Amino acid sequence: MQTKFESKLDHIRLHYKMWMEDSSGTGILGDGKWKMLKLIEEKGSMKAACDELGYTYRRTWGNLKKIEDFFGFPLLEKHRGGAEGGSTQLSPEGKRLVAAFDRFHADMDMVIQKGFFTFIQTLRS
Contact 19, 27 (CB under 8 A): yes
Provide the residue ranges of all domains of the chain, joining segments of one domain with +.
Answer: 19-97
pTM for the model stands at 0.86
Mean pLDDT of 98-115: 97
pLDDT at 108: 97
**Run of H or E including 59:** helix 57-71
Contact 87, 45 (CB under 8 A): yes
Contact 36, 53 (CB under 8 A): yes
**CATH topology for 19-97?**
Arc Repressor Mutant, subunit A (1.10.10)
User: CB atoms < 10 A from the CB of 92, how many?
Assistant: 10
pLDDT at 89: 94
- Quote the percentage of the chain above a pLDDT of 70: 95
Antiparallel, parallel or unpaired: β 87-90 and 19-21: unpaired
Minimal CA–CA distance to 55: which of 36, 68, 40?
Answer: 36
Mean pLDDT of 78-107: 89
**Run of H or E including 77:** strand 76-79
